[in-house]
């Protein structure tokens, strides 16, 4: 966890992600990435140069029309002294039953982000922290390049003018391996995904492509991030 926190602090300071008095909503899906982000932000606030507050938010898609079990996260939030808000939705029903989406991941992600943005505003937060790491940034770049012909990824810091809110990604300097290791060693209460499309997305295909490229071109993901920074692409 110390390595992850060090990577996060470097990103937070380089991109001026957190300012004094910020109230930060942390999007918590229940996966290892978002839980590691939540835990690390809660720990870093104890010694960070400026004071900030955290509220954890979860959007429950309600797969199979059943409430998800977030009890482990509720317990963790109590231990971390972090407010926790869960919003039960009909996302799964809309996407898989009503609309019967053949490629549901993009729509689901957009709808979940929209709900998170609204939840953050309702909770009085001015920033929303998401658990994207270095691997996610490299994968997003490759997806945009190969599918859309554009050289871009998500931004470390994004201003949403319609919501008057900033989205920050403090884990962008950490690899997925480092995040996974931190979550495992801290024994964070990971919630197993019940999504029927889990591990079958286009992102999973790109992840496998990058793993294949790594065999011939070591540190390919780090090189993609380096290129984003050198070219000052997408705010990097």
Check residue 199 and give its pLDDT.
Answer: 63
The range of the structural domain enclosing residue 99 comes to 2-235
Check residue 6 and give its pLDDT.
Answer: 97
- Phi and psi dihedrals of 165, rounded to 5? -145, 150
Rounded to whole angstroms, the Cα distance separating 180 from 32 reads: 6
CATH classification at residue 174 = 3.40.50.620
Decide if 128 contacts 116 (C-beta within 8 A). Answer: yes
What are the residue ranges in the chain where pLDDT is below 70? 198-200
**How many domains, the chain?**
1
Q: What is the DSSP string of the chain?
A: -HHHHHHHHHHHHHTT---TTEEEEEE--SSHHHHHHHHHHHHHTTT-SS-EEEEEEEEE--GGG-----HHHHHHHHHHT-EEEEEE--HHIIIIIIS--SSHHHHHHHHHHHHHHHHHHHTT-SEEE----HHHHHHHHHHIIIII-------SEEEETTTTEEEE-TTTTS-HHHHHHHHHHTT--PPPP--TTTT-SHHHHHHHHHHHHHHHSTTHHHHHHHHHHHTTGGG-
Strand partners, 167: 128, 158
Check residue 197 and give its pLDDT.
Answer: 72
SS3 per residue for 164-222: CEEEECCCCCCCHHHHHHHHHHCCCCCCCCCCCCCCCCHHHHHHHHHHHHHHHCCCHHH
């Amino acid at each position: 966890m110390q390595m992850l926190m060090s990577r996060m602090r470097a990103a937070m300071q380089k991109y001026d992600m957190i300012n004094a008095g910020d109230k930060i909503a942390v999007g918590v899906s229940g996966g290892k990435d978002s839980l590691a982000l939540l835990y690390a932000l809660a720990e870093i606030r104890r010694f960070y140069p400026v004071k900030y507050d955290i509220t954890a938010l979860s959007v429950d898609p309600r797969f199979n029309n059943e409430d998800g079990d977030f009890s482990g996260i509720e317990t963790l939030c109590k231990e971390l002294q972090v407010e926790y808000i869960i919003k039960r939705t009909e996302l799964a029903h809309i996407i898989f039953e009503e609309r019967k989406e053949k490629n549901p991941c993009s729509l689901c992600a957009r709808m979940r982000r929209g709900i998170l943005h609204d939840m953050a505003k309702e909770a009085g937060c001015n920033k929303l922290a998401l658990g994207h790491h270095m691997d996610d940034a490299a994968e997003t770049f490759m997806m945009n390049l190969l599918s859309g012909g554009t050289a871009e990824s998500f931004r470390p810091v994004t201003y949403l003018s319609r919501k008057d809110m900033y989205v920050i990604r403090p884990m962008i300097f950490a690899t997925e391996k480092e995040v996974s290791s931190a979550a495992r060693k801290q024994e964070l209460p990971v919630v197993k995904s019940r999504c029927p499309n889990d591990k079958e997305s286009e992102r999973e295909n790109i992840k496998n492509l990058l793993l294949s490229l790594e065999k011939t071109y070591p540190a390919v993901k780090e090189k993609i991030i380096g290129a984003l920074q050198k070219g000052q692409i997408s705010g990097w």
